[in-house]
Amino acid sequence: MNNPIKKIMIVGGGSAGWLTAGVIAAEHLVDPDNGLELVLVESPDVPTIGVGEGTWPSMRSTLKKIGVSETEFFRECDASFKQGSKFVDWLKPAGGAYYHPFSLPDGGNDFNLAEQWLAHRDQVNFSDAVCPIRFISDRNLAPKLITSPEYGGASNYGYHLDAGKFSNFLKKHCTEKLGVTYIQDHVIKINSAENGDIASISTKMNGDLVADLFIDCTGFASLLLGEHYQIPLNEERRVLFNDSALAVQIPYGETESPIQSCTVSTAQDCGWIWDIGLPTRRGIGHVFSSAHTSDEQVLKNLQDYLEPAIGKAAAEKIMPRKLTFNPGYRKVLWHKNCVGVGIAAGFIEPLEATALVLIELSAQMIAEQLPATRAVMDTVAKRFNQQFFDHWQRIIEFLKLHYVLSERRDTDYWRDHLADSTQPDGLRELLDLWRYHVPWKHDIRGDEMFPWASYQYVLYGMGFDTQISSVAKRAAAANSEKAGELFNANMKKTQSFINNLPTNRALLNKVREFGFQKI
């Protein structure tokens, strides 16, 4: 029990495996002779899921930390910029759009600008009052200039990327630059130690591979946590109904077609459609609840969505890939000497693109709190489980928020989302609070994945009505001059961005030719 943790084995590749390998290797000296040995074992026959194409801005810090060049990342991963999400028809059918930007309102940590905005809600929508995102998105603008340093920008941003290319890019970086040992082989058996730990994994060509800590990145198969340890899912289908998706990739009509600045999520009668723009193609998929509709109806919805871009004949010939999943997360995420990361730990619908950021956070906590010995691993595991159970619940509540605010009543799917039995108690409590109190930083804990601004953007983008007290109105009035300055500053910044920022397509063309400044 007091033996040091000297060898970590990641089972499974893809974004989960290689991101985890990179983060741990960057945090610790990987040296099999004198320090930590890090091995990744990947089956040659398991394809990448390939639809996790949206990241949060946190990915910039992660890539920078593991020593990746942002220029090379863009060139090798068919990547583009993501500055937030655009939600179309979520409030009601043909109900317009609102934005959830990555950028916080300027000055929002000093003043609750949403409280100040309430008096002007009939003249300007909330995100326009505090953020340039709509004007950036409408013009397909980039968040920076070619003269900007790597990972720096005028506007906050994450990425859209090709998941398969991203995994291969990380694999090359981890093995060539960070000392990660790569074994391509089939795992045929998991072998237990006397204390119930995993002692080794048996492989087809390399025999038994021993390690002190095993990280399960085997996706939906969950070979270690799910299959070996039989740890079941906390199923969340009662709250989030979606369990399937039809996904397709389409080319642009022209090579210089505009590239979107946001992920576009368009509500449908029994789900929603994602639309992600990469430099060479668009990734589009329809997420849906199999209990509320049929594959045939979803295919028709997807074809109707694609028809304006590729024409009726081409839309009718698409052959989308179907994905099915059981929405939820493992009842235990770190069990004995095995921890699950990525889909092996859990999966829910990709609204708000939480899959990759959960991988980042998991890898970061494992790296930063890596147990020195097996004796302290159970304590670290307990802390890890508590932290990520909380993350999962907050994500589920935040995603459900999008549905319960909708005025759509056109199908059972949308009506069922409004039933009390499908809503988490924590979310109902917050909504009761926010009917009379504008959410702000004191309502959201510091370790929350979604900041206070995210709740404001979704609540007021969806037309939520907050009736603040007369006392709060007087307090807001006292800060009205400062708030006015911040609103005016946002308008000036918006105009500056419109005048000076290049389009995504123009900047990405320059990145391929010149690259960003090194830092």
Return the pLDDT at 49.
67
**Residue 178: C-alpha distances to residues 11, 67, 156 (Å):** 18, 9, 28
Instruction: Give whole-number Cα distances, 469 to 29, 112, 369, 380, in Å.
Output: 56, 15, 45, 45
Rounded to whole angstroms, the Cα distance separating 508 from 506 reads: 6
Residue 246: strand pairing partners? 286, 322
CA distance 360 to 377: 20
pLDDT of residue 117: 94
321 dihedral zone (left: phi>0; alpha: psi -120 to 50; beta): beta
Amino acid at 386: Q
- The sign of the dihedral angle between the CA atoms of 309, 311, 312, 318 is negative
pLDDT for the residue 56: 97
Residue 419 CB-density burial (10 A; 0-12 exposed, 13-18 middle, 19+ buried)? exposed
Residue-level pLDDT at 282 = 96
Instruction: Give the torsion sign (CA, 332, 39, 16, 519).
Output: positive
In single-letter form, the type of residue at position 35 comes to G
252 near 377, Cβ under 8 Å? no
Q: What is the pLDDT along the chain (519 residues), one digit of tens a residue?
A: 678 999 999 999 999 999 999 999 999 977 666 679 999 999 998 776 666 699 999 999 999 999 999 999 999 999 999 999 999 999 999 989 999 999 999 888 888 999 999 989 999 999 999 999 999 999 999 999 999 999 999 999 999 999 999 999 999 999 999 999 999 999 999 999 999 999 999 999 999 999 999 999 999 999 999 999 999 999 999 999 999 999 999 999 999 999 999 999 999 999 999 999 999 999 999 999 999 999 999 999 999 999 999 999 999 999 999 999 999 999 999 999 999 999 999 999 999 999 999 999 999 999 999 999 999 999 999 999 999 999 999 999 999 999 999 999 999 999 999 999 999 999 999 999 999 999 998 888 767 899 999 999 999 999 999 998 888 888 778 888 988 999 999 999 999 999 999 999 999 999 999 999 775
Reported as a single tens digit per residue, the pLDDT across 234-277 is 999 999 999 999 999 999 999 999 999 999 999 999 999 999 99
**Comparing C-alpha atoms, which of 446, 449, 334, 447 is closest to residue 385?**
334
The answer to whether the CB of 203 falls within 8 A of the CB of 43 is: no
What is the pairing mode between strands 321-324 and 158-160? unpaired
**pLDDT of amino acid 302:** 98
In whole angstroms, give the CA distance from residue 415 to residue 241.
12
Query: Model-level pTM?
Result: 0.96
CB 198 within 8 A of CB 213: no
Query: pLDDT tens digits for 177-229?
Result: 999 999 999 999 999 999 999 999 999 999 999 999 999 999 999 999 999 99
* Backbone phi, psi, residue 240, to 5°: -115, 110
The reported pLDDT for the residue numbered 148 is: 95
What pLDDT sits at residue 480? 87
